[in-house]
Structure 1
């Protein structure tokens, strides 16, 4: 399944209980930029192929990360990049975006994505193992 931009943002908006699509878009941009720094090779390309074009480009041109962040530090990093966010609201933002992305990829690709990430990201994607 490949998401269209509006459908993707509507889903993030609903999951994140945002008042506007702009809030959902801001969260999606930050979370996908951070996620892109943690994924490599065909896994990142396969995820990007299932996202709307503008979000695929963000995933493929990520923020740089010296090391894979554990989930709690990933959430803290998202909080630092999302205007007005706290760690609690950033956890909500991350989960809204990543669970929407998980819906697009299916179980097999999600498993490959999780293999590239530190332990604990399954919860952020809304798919505890």
Structure 2
């Protein structure tokens, strides 16, 4: 089921404790573009199908990353794209967006997403996996 744009942004705003929907949207755009660069094939298409349309397009139109970034570099890359961000605030942004995307994805799809990513992303999605 696709989340409505307002519902998606409301959840990101709440989890990120942003003052405005604009801040939540900025975080969502950056994080989903970076995530889209890391996912391929059917998994990327399935996640996109569960996101609001404009965010689905950001995910699908991302240029493929040469190699997936480890989680800490993903956070650093997010900080580089958000004006005034620090690694601490970027970690917050990543967590707010990815945990909301994880809810939209559901457990089965999230499991497939995590298989495409380096170890440690389960924590960014707010879904720690048993070792």
Q: What's the TM-score, normalizing by structure 1? A: 0.98
Post-superposition CA distance 1:61-84 (Å, at most 9, x none) = 114422100000000000000111
Counterpart of 2:28 in structure 1 is 28
Unaligned stretches of 5+ residues in structure 2: none
Post-superposition CA distance 1:42-71 (Å, at most 9, x none) = 000000000000000000011442210000
What's the secondary structure of 1:37's corresponding residue?
Answer: helix
Distance 2:12 2:31 in 1: 11
Q: Quote how far apart the aligned CAs of 1:108 are.
A: 0.4
Where has structure 1 moved over 3 Å in runs of 4 or more? none
Post-superposition CA distance 1:18-46 (Å, at most 9, x none) = 00000000000000000000000000000
Q: Quote how far apart the aligned CAs of 1:12 are.
A: 0.1
Counterpart of 2:15 in structure 1 is 15
Unaligned stretches of 5+ residues in structure 1: none
How many residue pairs were aligned?
129
RMSD: 0.7
